[in-house]
Chain A
Amino acid sequence: MSDADPSGSGADPDAGRGVEPTDPGADEGFEPVDVFPDSDDFDLRPGSDSCYKCSTCDTNCPVAEVDDDFPGPKFQGPEQWRLKQNEDDYGIDESVMDCSNCMRCDNACPAGVPLSQMHNTARGQYVSDEMSRFSRKYLRNRVLANYRLFARLGSKVPRLSNALLNNRAVQWLNERLLGITGEREFPSFAAETFREWWTARGGAAASREHAATARERRGEPRDADKRVAYFHGCYANYNTPEVARATVRVFEWFGYEVAVPEQGCSGTPMFANGMLGDARRHAETNVASLSALAERGYDAVASCTSCSMALRQEYPELFDIDGIEAAAAHTFEAVEYLRIHEDLRDAVADAEVDDDSAAEFVYHAPCHARNQGLARQSLELFRELDGVDIEDAGDSCSGISGTYGWKADKYETSMAIGEEMFDHMEAAAGETGMTECPTCAMQMEHGTGYEIRHPLELLEAALVDDG
């Protein structure tokens, strides 16, 4: 028996056989010792303790598969958290900035360790404690994370912005001064933002009318209680309003009255760059807006899977804001919402698309859709649509992960990760890509030159007569 025998008795281990060990709850008036005092931070200890180091997360990490400098999610999460508890001056390792926040490790962990919560927390801490506010990387990351701000300005003069952003000299300057890769073409701003279109169309009042008409056509009560709040996010507002318009039309076709509430950025690019202060500011706006609507019976739907991911999972994991749990529980991915509440499957099976829309698609499931259980949603839905073929581009990550692939120093990693998807896309019969995620779409287009559509656009083409 070793000196470390916890019982200290050194007695025959069998002696206690049959005797119940002390049950701490049995003694009346028992006060548990508070070993770990309350903290305002989110307690990551239970999660860290749950990790039994099976390394399954590591085998899901798209970065670790191609980058020999990246230690992987198990280190970034539970291991680094433990190191931090042990040494007062432990500084978060810089490699946390090489994590692309794809969040695949969450779905992988058999023990329920909240890996992405740990990564987001560590990254926020690294940026706030270890990164100079005056460094080029900080500035670059801040710019990328706050894409919405620049999109808002840029979309006021879309043609000028589009010309400027993809001007070779500007691209060269971006790369040299900011470290934003010159290899990629900036997505262009739409001439009319979604919100401009929405207002011009008559806003909520017009939607109420469209929905009532649709309910009549569907044989539902004209005043049925079918209302959703649309979280369009930044990209569908400034860059791809056709996706946002399709979302509105599809929901109205099913008889839903759509509201377009006040909203900021979901925070996805901010989490990924450790800009938690920026993310929180936007989260406060979004939570106030969506939780108030939830109380009035509105569920929120998002067409961007990273937006729904942020609202559903990252918000309650990172911020303590009044109403945040309600906002999370009432947020859905748009197509998922229709699958739950409508007979979408039959509607699609009864529909067909004519020759105007592309007929053969190759689909990529964004990592953030994967974690919501939606990786196969579009494939399974559209395989039953007449006139359409849809193939899976495999289960690899696209590699761009939002702002990650825009960084000059991450561009090559991003393309190495994406190679598997490009290969699958090229091997597939279709030459039109499909995905829910705006930046996956950029990567798909960048790697193959294919045009990329959103599932809601195809749903609109299949279901809504007047397009």
Chain B
Amino acid sequence: MAIDSAVLVIGGGLAGLTSALAAARAGGDVRLVSAKQSTLRNASGLVDVLGYAPDGTGPLIDPFEAITSLPEGHPYRTVGVDAVREALALFDEVTDYCGGHTDRNALVPTHGGTVKPTARYPRGVAAGLASDDRDALLVGFESLLDFDAPLAADPLRAAGVPFGVRGVTVGFPGDLRADAKVTRYAKLLDVNDEVGANGRSRAARAALAAAVEPHLDGEPRVGFPAVLGDDRPGEVRRTLGEMLGVDVFEVPTGPPSLPGLRLEDALFAALDAAGASIETGNPVVDFEGEGRVEAVYVEKNGARIPYTADQYVLATGGLVGKGVESDREGVSEPVFDCHVPHPADRYDWFDEDAFGDHAFAGFGLRTDAQLRPLTAEGTVEFDNLRAAGAVLGGYDFPAEKSGSGVSLATGYAAGWAATQEAR
């Protein structure tokens, strides 16, 4: 016997979750297995579709328009622009995100003081957009080194954003350790615990507002590092905003990130509501079958547990996520050993310029129109295996700013097709 479902999705990142969600909503009996906890908490929480063209043109105003002129073999070309729109519609439905009112990219200031073109952004980021001409005060916390507000404000000003922006650093109220975790800040603000500040005890949100208030110089909006609550971010922002008489927004920070965590929670909740089964903590290490995947094996402390399905989706990530691996001999896909095209000479894998046009950035699986991985000869590896997200090749997501969008669109297309195909 084995643990059976109609569709089995391997991978718990954005592509895997979207795939499972699309499959479950199309009526499939779906199981998602993820080697570890979802990696979404390492994501900024911003959802980009296409920020720059492969030749570097950009920031792009309309990502959807640009998709049609992408080169053959780009995952967006495989699934088509309609799949991107459908995937985003599903995403909008199950999350509390903004940006869906227009096709145009929003410009979101980041913790590094750059401006990122992005198609969707969490509601908490909305008041911070760079296209908004209201002056902004950025507030950093002394002990939270991931966000240095003055350092973020300077390049924004230098880039000529249409508003005045200043950065100040305040001590976060309470007796937090110098290396307090982002979850500690979030928890304090969520539960609004009493903290000690200036010799007296008061609720965390009020104490924080009091620490910021003297620095305010008429700015109608104030940005904080994205630690304003985990379970109740909307409430935290609203209370802080009311106390300060401003609009409060979050500036997305690096990993581990609360916006990523909240997105993870929202997508898992949607998946649960759609009736899918979910297991995390143990990796898929092997499979059985020829031309067709009959079973995969999950490894658990030396035991190999068989999982069977009619249709499989591979969404294990790219080079960083370990869905694609490389050593001195070559580049490979570790679960099904699907073919990963790459130059034989490994000196051709990269460019000498650190920020140059690296071939490795595009390493990944090639697929047919149904997202089924192809062998070196161009035939389908397995009839019932589709691939989604960063395990796919043919695009350079960090340069294009297309990582989330490709995961959403290919995940959606693969999941939907898997359910249609399942017996």
* Interface 9-mer from A162-170, A215-223, A270-278, A334-342: A334-342
Contact: A373 with B281, CB < 8 Å? yes
Give Cα distance in the complex from A61 to B177, angstroms. Answer: 15
- Min CB distance A96 to B, Å, is 16
User: Which residue from B39, B179, B255, B277 sits with its C-beta under 8 Å from A376?
Assistant: B277
Residues of A within 8 A of B300 (CB): 312, 372-373
* Residues 90-113 of chain A, each 1 if its beta carbon lies under 8 Å from chain B, else 0: 000000000000000001111000
A68 and B303 contact, Cβ closer than 8 Å, known pairs A56-B41, A373-B281, A376-B279: no
Q: Taking the complex as formed, is A330 at the interface, i.e. its CB lies under 8 A from any CB of chain B?
A: yes
Q: How many whole Å from A249's CB to the nearest CB in chain B?
A: 21
Q: Please, how many angstroms separate the alpha-carbon atoms of A68 and B175 in the complex?
A: 7
* Other-chain contact of A108, B36, B175, B184, B328 (Cβ < 8 Å): B36
Asked if A66 is at the interface of the complex by the 8 Å CB criterion, the answer is yes
What is the minimal beta-carbon distance from B389 to any residue of chain A, in angstroms? 15
The answer to whether A340 and B175 touch across the interface, beta carbons within 8 angstroms, is no
0/1 interface trace, chain B 274-289, chain A, CB 8 Å (1 if under)? 0001111110000000
List residues of A (306-344) whose CB comes within 8 Å of B's CBs.
312-313, 316, 325, 328-332, 339-343
Q: Mark B296-308, 1 if CB is under 8 A from A, else 0.
A: 0010111101100
* Known A110-B42, A372-B281: A312·B301 in contact at CB below 8 Å: yes
Does B159 belong to the interface (CB within 8 Å)?
no
- Decide: A316 near B277, CB < 8 A? Known: A56-B42, A65-B183: no
Partner of A59, one of B2, B182, B352: B182
- The answer for the CA separation of A339 and B305 in the assembled complex, in Å, is 10
For window 70-110 of B, CB contacts with A under 8 Å fall at: none
B123 at the interface (CB under 8 A from A): no
> How close is B214's CB to chain A, nearest CB, in angstroms?
25
Measured CA separation A64–B186 after assembly (Å): 12
Q: How far is the CA of A332 from the CA of B302 in the complex (A)?
A: 11
* Interface membership of B37, Cβ < 8 A: yes
A8 within 8 Å of B by Cβ?
Answer: no
Q: Does A225 contact B (CB under 8 A)?
A: no
Q: What's the Cα separation between A371 and B347 when bound, in Å?
A: 40
Q: How far, in angstroms, from A120 to B217 measured CA to CA in the complex? A: 52
| Chain A residues, Cβ within 8 Å of B39 | 110
Which of A58, A331, A374 is the one whose CB lies under 8 Å from B181?
A58
What is the number of residues of chain B that contact chain A, defined by CB distance less than 8 Å? 42
Residues of chain A in range 324-376 having any CB-CB distance to chain B below 8 Å: 325, 328-332, 339-343, 370-376
* Nearest chain B CB to A62 CB, angstrom units: 9
Q: How far is the CA of A59 from the CA of B39 in the complex (A)?
A: 12
Q: Is A18 within 8 A of B347, CB to CB?
A: yes
| Bound CA–CA A261/B96 (angstroms) | 53
Q: Roughly how many angstroms separate A313 CA and B301 CA in the complex, as a whole number?
A: 6
B261 within 8 A of partner (CB): yes
Contacts of A328 in B (CB 8 A): 301-302
- Is A59 within 8 A of B302, CB to CB? no
Q: Which of B325-343 contact A (CB under 8 A)?
A: 328
Q: Is the CB of A325 within 8 A of B302?
A: yes
Indicate if the CB atoms of A375 and B181 lie closer than 8 Å.
Answer: no
Is B344 engaged at the interface, CB distance under 8 Å to the other chain? no
B220 within 8 A of A: no
Contacts of A432 in B (CB 8 A): none
A296 within 8 Å of B by Cβ?
no
A55 touches which of B177, B181, B352 (Cβ 8 Å)? B181
Instruction: Kindly state the separation between the CA atoms of A116 and B56 in the bound complex, as whole angstroms.
Output: 45
A107 — which chain B residues lie within 8 A by C-beta? Answer: 36-37, 280-281
Contact with B along A169-205 (1 / 0, CB 8 A): 0000000000000000000000000000000000000
A262 within 8 A of B: no
Q: Which residues of B contact A66 (CB under 8 A)?
A: 184, 187
A420 CA to B273 CA, complexed, in Å:
21
Q: By the criterion CB–CB under 8 Å, are A419 and B191 in contact?
A: yes
What is the number of residues of chain A that contact chain B, defined by CB distance less than 8 Å? 48
Whether B42 and A17, one on each chain, are in contact in the complex, defined by CB atoms closer than 8 angstroms, is no
A224 / chain B contacts, CB cutoff of 8 Å: none
What are the residues of chain A within 8 A of B243 when measuring CB–CB? none
Contacts of A419 in B (CB 8 A): 191
Contact A380 B281 (CB under 8 A): no
Q: B181 and A68: CB pair below 8 A?
A: no
A contact residues around B369 at 8 Å (CB)? none
Interface positions, chain A 50-74, Cβ under 8 Å from B, are 54-56, 58-61, 64-66, 68-69, 71-72
How far is A61 from B182 in the complex, measured between Cα atoms in Å?
A: 11
CB-nearest residue of chain A relative to B304? A329
Contact check: which of A58, A69, A375, A392 meets B183 at CB < 8 Å? A58
- Residues of B near A330 (CB, < 8 A) are 303
User: Across the interface, which residues of A come within 8 angstroms of B306, CB to CB?
Assistant: 340
Given A68-B177, A373-B282, also A56-B302 (CB < 8 A): no
Cα distance A331–B36 when bound, in Å?
21
Complex alpha-carbon distance, A12 and B292, angstroms? 52
* Cβ of B176 under 8 Å from chain A: yes
Q: With both chains docked as a complex, state the minimum distance between the C-beta of B81 and any C-beta of chain A, in angstroms.
A: 32
- In the complex, residue of chain A having the shortest beta-carbon distance to the beta carbon of B1: A341
CB-defined contacts of B177 to chain A, threshold 8 Å? 68-69, 71
> Which one of A18, A109, A373, A375 has the highest number of Cβ atoms from chain B below 10 Å of its Cβ?
A373
B66 on interface, CB distance cutoff 8 Å: no
**Is B3 among interface residues, defined by CB-CB distance under 8 A?**
yes
Interfacial chain A residues near B37, Cβ < 8 Å: 56, 60, 107-108
Which residues on A are within 8 Å of B, measured CB to CB?
Answer: 14, 17-18, 23, 54-56, 58-61, 64-66, 68-69, 71-72, 75, 107-110, 312-313, 316, 325, 328-332, 339-343, 370-376, 380, 392, 419-420
Interface CB pairs A-B, < 8 A, 29: A23-B328, A55-B256, A56-B255, A56-B256, A59-B181, A60-B37, A61-B183, A64-B183, A64-B184, A65-B181, A65-B183, A66-B184, A68-B177, A71-B179, A75-B179, A107-B36, A109-B36, A312-B300, A313-B301, A316-B301, A329-B301, A339-B3, A340-B2, A340-B3, A340-B305, A341-B1, A371-B281, A373-B279, A376-B279
Known contacts A68-B176, A380-B278, then 9 further A-B pairs from the complex at CB < 8 Å, ordered by chain A residue = A54-B255, A59-B181, A64-B183, A64-B184, A66-B184, A69-B177, A110-B42, A373-B33, A373-B282
